[in-house]
Amino acid sequence: MSLDPQRRLRRKLLLAPTTLTLLLFMVLPMLLMAWMSVLAPDTYGGVRWHEWSLDAYVQFLYERDLDDSLTLNSDYLQIFGRSFLLAGFATVVTLLIGFPTALYIALKEEKTRQRLILLISIPFWTNLLVRTYAWMLLLRNGGLIDSSLSALGLSQGALDVLYTPTAVAIGFVYSFLPFMVLPIYTSLEKMDWRLVEAAFDLGANRWQALRRVILPLAMPGIVAGCLLVFIPAIGSYYIPELLGGGKSLMIGNLIQNQFGTARNWPFGAALSFMLLALVLLAMGVYTRRFQRPPGE
Amino acid sequence: MQASNNLWRFRGVTPTAMLAFVYLYLPIVVLVVLSFNANRIATLWTGFSFDWYLKVMDNDNILRATKNSLIIACGATVLATSFATMAALAMAGRRFRGQAFINAMLGLPLLVPEIVTAVASLLFFLALGLDLGLMTVLIAHTVFCIPFAYLPIRARLEGLDPRLAEAAADLYAGPFATFRRVTLPLILPGVLSGAMLAFIVSLDDFVITFFVAGAGATTLPVYIFGLIRMGITPEVNAVSALMLLVSIAFVALSYWMGQRKS
């Protein structure tokens, strides 16, 4: 039964609004952004459309001195490094908390499981900005954590956690924890638990069963979770802004500055493009490693 | 099931999970409780009061931002859900050339870091010479809402028996009649669940809106961000708590719709 032309036309018409919207307002803007990153900046913001320039990428690594010579400048590299470090730290910690949590849920009865998953998804869908603000209430000096610690006699003086990288890390782990639990749970839920029983029957202890059977089978979920935590964390803008103060600038804040105060569009576009390239690279590696058709 | 067997108890799993749940809900609970605090100093509890909520309801800026948020969220939900429903119907049939490309494109808004989408959209709108305002926000929201609306609808369609539509066609129903009388009622829970997710995602978005909104189209999250940067006050607590409760209500409702079997 081959498709008649009428049905084919109908399918095209059905797809048109979505395809056109995404092409026009998602794909095209990305291409434009990549293009703008190799143009020269205009003095008052904007770009010079006909002037090619690699300055934005040069600016990332070098500083132009008064006599026009280039000297190595690691400021921006440091910001990229800090973003990597904080996002990587958040990924590791959410994994350490998220995997046992997912395992705990997966081992419950069907009904309990659904309720617990709803409990995990509610923070996943609620306003991140507002939840970040809630951490400001908890972490500030004189806030709940500070005052209860000193009431218990566990700390002397102010806690001074808010507006430090520690606060940013706490915010990251908190905000992205559901992103780690949900995919791991999905892969654990699909797992054939008889394999673990078989491991027990063959004399494996709990640790061996976990390491040799459960972990490898949960791997696609674990890697998906790591990407889902790492990608939003590395580009995050308002968590460092609100919890880190001015001290823990990350890529997202740097990009925002280029469009706000610095008015250097090509540099902002180049930074965004580099961030996008990093993310796509990570995704590419993931797809190659874990989405091969079976039997290949 | 498995939990009854002693071998299935891994050491440390239960306490870690408990800790995770407490960690996830502690800030939410503290925020809501403090929003009822009578004291001017936002984190010092002195007694119950509803005043800050009344103050919020009386604040013109907040009301205007809320109105903008609702207009945009409703518009983006309608557009994204209808586009996504149409696309899901087209994607559900037999495989065709270009399907993988469309799938990849549908994943883009979920995959690309928000700040990159925001920057790219801003540059695009400026290059086109569009004025930043409600219109540009609506376009940007529709784009990133499409995948959120698409996924539940697609999942629902996948569980559908294709013979139902074929039977309708055998009974001389045209494509549109088949859709209206057979397919749509069957996928309605998925469509509603997708629409609700799109609504909540649009209502909650900050980063993209912050970039493409311009001065006249401040939404509630953008307004709240401005308030937070100026400091912690009981009014911010109240408006944040309201925002949180709306989201929670929507998620619970969407979950309930998705769970309903026809």
Amino acid A62: pLDDT: 81
Which candidate from B108, B127, B247 shows the least CB-CB separation from A126?
B247
- Whether A285 is in a domain gets the answer no
- Whether B64 is in a domain gets the answer yes
Chain A hits for B33, Cβ within 8 Å: none
Which candidate from A36, A193, A210 shows the least CB-CB separation from B10?
A210
- Whether A57 is in a domain gets the answer no
Mean pLDDT of A73-77: 85
Contact B251 A136 (CB under 8 A): no
Q: Which residue has the higher pLDDT, B53 or A97?
A: A97
Nearest CA in chain B to A16: B87
Mean pLDDT of A20-32: 95
Q: In whole angstroms, how far apart are CA B69 and each of A11, A20, A134, B58?
A: 33, 25, 21, 17
Range of the domain at A132: 79-250
Phi-psi region of A92 (alpha: psi -120 to 50; beta: other; left: phi over 0): alpha
Amino acid A293: pLDDT: 46
Whether B182 contacts B164, CB under 8 Å: yes
- Whether B33 is in a domain gets the answer no
Chain A hits for B204, Cβ within 8 Å: 125-129
Cβ neighbours of A249 (radius 10 Å): 19
Q: How many helices (H) and strands (E) does chain A have?
A: 14, 4
pLDDT greater than 70 at residue B150: yes
Domain count, chain B: 1
Sign of CA dihedral A216, A221, A227, A232: negative
Phi-psi region of B111 (alpha: psi -120 to 50; beta: other; left: phi over 0): alpha
- Whether B48 is in a domain gets the answer no
pLDDT greater than 90 at residue A74: no
- Whether B23 is in a domain gets the answer no
Chain B hits for A268, Cβ within 8 Å: 119
- Whether A289 is in a domain gets the answer no
- In three-state secondary structure terms, A35 is helix
Q: Which residue has the higher pLDDT, A294 or B119?
A: B119
Distance from CA of B25 to the nearest CA of A (A): 8
Which candidate from A28, A122, A137 shows the least CB-CB separation from B31?
A137
- CATH of residue B200's domain is 1.10.3720.10
Domain count, chain A: 1
Which candidate from A15, A17, A26 shows the least CB-CB separation from B108?
A26
Contact A104 B252 (CB under 8 A): no
Most confident by average pLDDT, A97-106, A143-152, A281-290: A97-106
Show which of residues 225-244 on chain B sit within 8 Å of chain A, judged by CB atoms.
225, 228-229, 232, 236-237, 240, 243-244
Distance CA A14, CA A27 (A): 20
A–B CB contacts, 8 A cutoff, strictly below: 248
Range of the domain at B99: 53-259
- Whether B5 is in a domain gets the answer no
Q: What φ, ψ does residue B39 adopt, rounded to 5°?
A: -70, 145
Phi-psi region of A68 (alpha: psi -120 to 50; beta: other; left: phi over 0): left
B8 touches chain A (CB under 8 A): yes
- Whether A176 is in a domain gets the answer yes
Mean pLDDT of A137-157: 80
Amino acid A2: pLDDT: 53
Q: In whole angstroms, how far apart are CA A136 and each of A125, B124, B232?
A: 20, 35, 8
- Whether A48 is in a domain gets the answer no
Question: Closest Cα partner for B147 from B183, B202, B110, B178?
Answer: B110
Question: Closest Cα partner for B255 from A104, A119, A229?
Answer: A119
Q: What is the value of pTM for the model shown?
A: 0.88
pLDDT greater than 50 at residue A262: yes
pLDDT greater than 70 at residue B6: no
pLDDT band with cut points at 50, 70 and 90 for residue B260? low
A133-137, A150-154, A180-184, B60-64: range with lowest mean pLDDT: A150-154
- Whether B246 is in a domain gets the answer yes
Chain A hits for B228, Cβ within 8 Å: 129, 133, 136, 242
Whether A158 contacts B234, CB under 8 Å: no
Contact B20 A101 (CB under 8 A): yes
Distance CA B42, CA B40 (A): 6
Amino acid A294: pLDDT: 41
Which candidate from B19, B115, B124 shows the least CB-CB separation from A252?
B115
Amino acid A296: pLDDT: 37
- CATH of residue A198's domain is 1.10.3720.10
Mean pLDDT of A271-288: 86
- Whether A126 is in a domain gets the answer yes
B169 touches chain A (CB under 8 A): no
Distance CA B32, CA A75 (A): 40
Q: What is the pLDDT of residues B179-229, one digit of tens each?
A: 888 888 888 988 998 999 899 999 999 999 999 998 778 999 999 999 998
Distance CA A91, CA A89 (A): 5
Contact A98 B224 (CB under 8 A): no
